Structure 1
Amino acid sequence: MPSLTARLIKRVSRRMVRRENLSPEALTRHLRKTFNHTPGLTLLPRGVRLRTLETGGFSGDLVTVATPSMAILYIHGGAYIAGVTRTYHNLAGRLAKDLDAEVYLPRYPFAPESPFPAGVNRCIEAYEWLLAEGRNAEDIVIAGDSAGGGLTLALLLAIRDRKLPRPRCAVTFSPAADGHCRGPSVDANNASDCMLSASLVRTVSDIYMAPTDRDNPYASPSLGDYTGLPPLMITVSTEECLYSDAQAVRAKAEAAGVPVTWIARDGLFHVWPIILPWLPEAREDVRKVVQFIRDCLSPG
């Protein structure tokens, strides 16, 4: 059974986040009001520091220990329309502390003002900037949630296609991966999803990409060829509309011989691992994320 905290978050999310049958303009306003002003305190572990970076190749936040041994590029969610890096400081702080890491939280342009592929291009620039700054690709992990999970997968495909050095591994929480919104869970889980709805998912796709973009694997990563991609961890709730997206990504990765670590949780909600330190299930599963990354970084 989900924790009391999880049950409370689900109730609040259903009232405050979930919407049905809004126009694109109304949905954009709602998601920006909701995701750009998320409540919460930044509680960084001892020895972890936060600062803002503005360079020619990277714009965003850096959460880091004093002498990091690895880098994480974490791409935040927000339906390709909204979201702020501040929401992820606690998660980034935990990852930085437990993995002796520097965690980069890039800002990227949003639709409808900057539709696909603007966000993908900014993420590619951020990865290239890390390499240009001297980071070893074998010591880089890419991660993201929801739309940021979709951008994570798109970035992995772009890195492979551009023959850039590949990162060590990647983590996605509830990735948005099919611009066509054809997965059976989009409708089947419409009632059980406390945060997303079938109409919200489809309207977001309309806002983010043109119909002609939806077969592009960078827009719909579940359509990509995953040959040559690094090990992948996927978490998803069985109750959410994007459950089928995660299943499709898993199937494509495994078909290409990519090792996949899979966590599917009953009774939880979209991108629950980011709710640190408040949610017990998030604390538990982020420990699994940390172990997955440690295992991938271990020699051999």
Structure 2
Amino acid sequence: MSREQRAEIDRKLRRPAPEGERTVEQIRAGFRELMAGMLVPHERIRTAPAVLGGRPALRVDPVGEARDGTILYFHGGSWVFGSPETALSLTGHLVAGSGLPAYSSDYRLAPEHPFPAAVEDTLAAYRELLERGADPARTVLAGDSAGGGLAVTTVLAARDAGLPLPAGILAFSPGTDATRSGASMDTKEGVDPIFTRSSFEGTSAMYLAGADPRHPLLSPAVHADLTGLPPMLIQVGANELLLDDSTRLAARARDAGVDVTLDVTADVPHVFQCFAGVLDEADEALERAALFLRQRTAGGR
């Protein structure tokens, strides 16, 4: 592990936030600016616009011959900001590392489209993949932060709709508890270089729009029946307010008979994998994630 790399990233993430309340567009623009600085393996991937489930999407293919299978990816951004383009450092490295093609879904965002719009869109994307002939046994749903939560809740919605389930779920720092009841929401205050409890309040209100945060598709880590879910790999940083979103999700999945791997990396922030190329732990975590993708899609029908 590189202590110097981790310390430098922590320092950069603690830069003072703009004063005053920001508009939604300012929040979105700030996130685009931040993620534009992440490294993307352009020489190892090809991208093209696509449509999936009635929504725009980004198709990401490896250069050279692709493996048989599909990654369906959901970007992070508190269900309010972000896009397939802001997540390209993550999808690009997963595609390059696994050899699998990916679709990255541009699901609808709050406050214009609050819950359950995002889940409706991600479920529609998965449904259309199946209708196009994608083998669920060679398909993995993946995502980071809010998108990691969507990877879980989309599979729950697919199960309840009677659809064939994918081969696995890959979640980076997933948001899986809208009740914000995890102990890490308090114990990691100040340790987390990005979030505070209060910083979640605004975006959560936009997404929930009055919905009960105990809804299983809002808080699967504490309120969903996880029975029947496919194998899961959950990666999270130890310095996150949302740490317990991952630890409790993993514990409840285990208790429901789900094959789950909880992968916790010390002294790193939320979705640290996006620092691939500048943080050794990010590169190593993505290698483990790519191995999971290859293993889960190896069987097929």
Contact between 2:40 and 2:88, CA under 8 Å: does it hold in 1? yes
Q: Paired residue for 1:28, among 18, 24, 49? A: 24
Change (3 A) 1:5 1:169: same
- Measured after TM superposition, the shift of residue 211 of structure 1 is 4.2
Hey, what does 2:280 align to over in structure 1?
280
Q: Separation in 2 of the partners of 1:58 and 1:108?
A: 7
Secondary structure at the counterpart of residue 48 of structure 2: strand
Q: Separation in 2 of the partners of 1:117 and 1:129?
A: 18
Q: Separation in 1 of the partners of 2:97 and 2:268?
A: 24
Matched, 1:227 2:227: yes
Contact between 1:75 and 1:151, CA under 8 Å: does it hold in 2? yes
Aligned residues: 295
Secondary structure at the counterpart of residue 12 of structure 1: helix
Q: Separation in 2 of the partners of 1:244 and 1:178?
A: 9
Secondary structure at the counterpart of residue 293 of structure 2: helix
Contact between 2:2 and 2:280, CA under 8 Å: does it hold in 1? no
Q: Separation in 2 of the partners of 1:8 and 1:84?
A: 26
Secondary structure at the counterpart of residue 86 of structure 2: helix
- Measured after TM superposition, the shift of residue 173 of structure 1 is 0.8
Q: Separation in 1 of the partners of 2:26 and 2:53?
A: 31
**Segment drifting more, 61-70 vs 182-191:** 61-70
Contact between 1:3 and 1:281, CA under 8 Å: does it hold in 2? no
Contact between 1:70 and 1:100, CA under 8 Å: does it hold in 2? no
Hey, what does 1:96 align to over in structure 2?
95
Contact between 2:192 and 2:239, CA under 8 Å: does it hold in 1? yes
Secondary structure at the counterpart of residue 60 of structure 2: strand
- Identical-residue share of aligned pairs (%): 34
**Segment drifting more, 93-102 vs 261-270:** 93-102
Per-residue Cα deviation, 1:91-122 (whole angstroms, up to 9, x for no partner)? 32332233221111110111111110111111
Hey, what does 2:208 align to over in structure 1?
209
Change (3 A) 1:162 1:106: same
Contact between 2:220 and 2:249, CA under 8 Å: does it hold in 1? yes
- Measured after TM superposition, the shift of residue 276 of structure 1 is 2.3
Contact between 1:44 and 1:89, CA under 8 Å: does it hold in 2? no
Hey, what does 2:293 align to over in structure 1?
293
Change (3 A) 1:170 1:114: same
Secondary structure at the counterpart of residue 149 of structure 1: helix
Hey, what does 1:39 align to over in structure 2?
36
Change (3 A) 1:247 1:56: closer
Q: Quick one: which amino acid aligns to residue 191 of structure 1? A: G
Contact between 1:72 and 1:104, CA under 8 Å: does it hold in 2? yes
- Measured after TM superposition, the shift of residue 290 of structure 1 is 1.4
Q: Quick one: which amino acid aligns to residue 80 of structure 1? A: W
Q: Separation in 1 of the partners of 2:52 and 2:210?
A: 34
Matches within 5 A, 1:103-182: 103-182=102-181
Gaps of 5+ in 2: none
Secondary structure at the counterpart of residue 203 of structure 1: helix
Contact between 2:167 and 2:297, CA under 8 Å: does it hold in 1? yes
Contact between 1:169 and 1:232, CA under 8 Å: does it hold in 2? yes
- Measured after TM superposition, the shift of residue 16 of structure 1 is 5.5
TM-score (norm 2): 0.91
Per-residue Cα deviation, 1:157-213 (whole angstroms, up to 9, x for no partner)? 101111101000011111111111111111221110001111112332222104443
TM-score (norm 1): 0.91
Q: Separation in 1 of the partners of 2:83 and 2:3?
A: 27
Q: Please, what is the CA RMSD of the aligned residues? A: 2.1
Per-residue Cα deviation, 1:268-287 (whole angstroms, up to 9, x for no partner)? 00001122233211111111
Contact between 1:82 and 1:110, CA under 8 Å: does it hold in 2? yes
Change (3 A) 1:178 1:228: same
Per-residue Cα deviation, 1:28-76 (whole angstroms, up to 9, x for no partner)? 3553122123323543244x31111135634111111354411001100
- Measured after TM superposition, the shift of residue 27 of structure 1 is 6.5
Hey, what does 1:239 align to over in structure 2?
239
**Segment drifting more, 260-269 vs 197-206:** 197-206
Secondary structure at the counterpart of residue 101 of structure 1: coil
Gaps of 5+ in 1: none
Matched, 1:51 2:42: no
